Structure 1
Amino acid sequence: MMTEQRGRNWFGLLAADAQQVKGFPDSLLVADGSLNGQSVRYLAVVADANNRFPRARNGEVGLLEGWSLAQAIDQTIEQDRERTDKRALIAIVDVPSQAYGRREEALGIHQALAGAVDSYARARLAGHAVVALLVGKAMSGAFLAHGYQANRLIALRDPSVMVHAMGKESAARVTLRSVDELEALAATIPPMAYDIENYDSLGLLWETLSVNDALTPEADDVARVQACLSSALNDIATAPRDLRSRLGASNREASSRVRELLRAQW
């Protein structure tokens, strides 16, 4: 059964006036456009019922998607190498998981996803502003490969927008709990939770945004998101290129303390 087409819907609306870039698999949408005068490249991994890899037909990030993301981002870095107004990268995120399968493991999905991570990080360090817009699921290695390296993370406030290392059923099996037991545990341990409010408490999100309809956005929803994306780009322009802005939340005190100790020792 096909998943909701949140990523495709938001890409179509945000990149409505952009020029779609050809040469990528149908599961990766890429378009060049502008946002309030800033040149941007939009990227979205979407469901493709005809994907040659069956495990990647519902929006998962698989071999094709990982390497193609890396190609699309490396292309941007190379084309803008001599430009002072480098394109921003807008990652539209609705990814249920990385693609699990024997072929994926045999052909090195870990390398494909690492390639995408590396490209996003190099783009950010090269001066390309990177913003990830979470419109649906941001799960597991798929989110690490597509979106997590962004300078700024923005999430829609919607029950179907969630972040976690794995799906509830998988997490329940790994921890030898029922889904109900897992949810009860998540209520007291924020990093175990799936909802965007608990994720926000970790200090990783730059902004959460309410819209009328996260699945089929209205014109007002699109305008609100565009304004937020533009504000994020302006904020990035005067900030360091690293990810230090994610530290400081009360639920990440241990992360900050570990970094202090490492700096003191090394």
Structure 2
Amino acid sequence: MDTLLGKGREAVDLIVDPESFAQDKVGATTFGDPTFGPGAVVGEAKLDGELVTVIASDAEAFNEKFPVVYSGIIGMEEGYKMAQAVYATLAADADKRLADKRAIVLIVDTPGNGPGKVEEIFGMNKATGAYQLALAEARLAGHPIVAMVIGRAISGAFLCHGLQADRILSLDAKFQTMIHVMPITSVSRIIKKDIETLEELAKSNPVFAAGPSFFHQLGGVEELVSEIPAMRAAIIKHVDEIRRAKAAGLDVVGPRGRGKLGVERGGRKVRPHVLERLNAEFAAVQARFRPQAN
């Protein structure tokens, strides 16, 4: 197999223990309506003998109610369904010790969100926001969350389905994986720079470039996985590392940890100076906005 692009459902079986995936069931919650968010694959499985929640995008599904939701796009219903799977996980493990809270494995292959007019009116932003919030709550509650990029990780869909994870892994670019927040054409329109200039910058500056290797340099990807069969072992390893880090109370996982990685890898050289300046400016004015004691 030379690529997993568009094969999110197949990737589930390549990662979890054989024949262990129970689709549309998480804890006490059953997702019984196949027409609701069909592009979202959710369920429970065993990974190295331990129970995990799995959330993926199915590029072969099509949501007939929302014509722009196809090919792995995360639409409004998909966002809510994914959020429900996370909250079902939180409820199932609410009384468990930190060490026993199940991991959540995100299998990422999405070209973006599907904001058609109907979705925008109904509240597409609320659906993706609900999913981001759910993952953040699960991460802070102690659930190890690992995102595995197997194909596309694009724009706002990657923001809600990936970037809230404790660790992000990605298959090498030779498997046609693609990671970017915004294409150069859009960057050009926003910052008023011509595309030729940005393409030249992208050859050496990871901020303007796309792809897993550049995101690795920025700290946005913790590990590049060189072969498809190696995904399973890499995810198991990172789940174990996340558990130990959380048990020790270390702040080295999640979005903050990736910012630090970017500095260490040379992709975010200015970040510490920006943070220092922001903190200094906030300290200078915070007294004006802090509630006064009576």
User: Residues 170 and 103 (structure 1 numbering): CA distance in 2 closer, same or farther, change over 3 Å?
Assistant: farther
SS, match of residue 127 in structure 1: coil
Q: Unpaired runs of 5+ in structure 2?
A: 25-29, 284-294
Report the CA distance shift for 1:228/1:108 in structure 2 as closer, same or farther (over 3 A): same
Q: Return the TM-score normalized by structure 2.
A: 0.78
- 1:231 equivalent to 2:237? Answer yes
Equivalents in 2 of 1:8, 1:175: separation in Å?
Answer: 38
Aligned-pair CA distance for 1:227: 0.8
Q: Per the alignment, do residues 235 and 187 of structure 1 end up closer, same or farther by CA in structure 2, a change over 3 Å counting?
A: same
Give the C-alpha shift of residue 109 in structure 1.
1.2
Identity %: 33
Deviation at 1:63, TM superposition (A): 0.4
Asked whether the equivalents of residues 39 and 63 of structure 2 are also in contact (C-alpha less than 8 Å), the reply is: no
Shift of 1:202: 0.5
Q: Which digits, 9 at most, give the CA deviation of each residue in 1:111-130, with x for residues without a partner?
A: 11111000000000001000
Which string of whole-angstrom CA distances, capped at 9 and with x for unpartnered residues, describes residues 227-263 of structure 1?
Answer: 1111101110121365332113322232233333444
Q: Identify the residue that residue 289 of structure 2 maps to in structure 1.
A: none
- Say if 2:21 is the partner of 1:18: yes
**Equivalent residue pairs, number:** 254
Map of 1:218 onto structure 2:
none
Question: If the length of structure 1 is used for normalisation, what is the TM-score?
Answer: 0.86
Q: Does 1:65 align with 2:71?
A: no
CA shift in 2, pair 1:183/1:74, >3 Å: same
Secondary structure at 1:238 match in 2: helix
Residue type of the alignment partner of 2:128: L
Q: Which residue of the partner structure matches residue 53 of structure 2?
A: 41
**Kept in 1: contact 2:8–2:109 (CA 8 A):** yes
Match of 2:209 among 187, 193, 198: 193
Q: Deviations over 1:128-186 (max 9, x none)?
A: 00000001110000001101111111010024212112345555666677876653332
Deviates more, 1:194-203 or 1:246-255: 246-255
1:108 has 2:123 as partner: yes
Give the 3 Å change call, closer, same or farther, for CA 181–51 of structure 1 in structure 2. farther
Query: How many angstroms does 1:4 deviate by?
Result: 4.2
What do the CA deviations read for 1:16-71 (whole angstroms, capped 9, x no partner)?
42221251632111121221233211110222234421111121111011111111
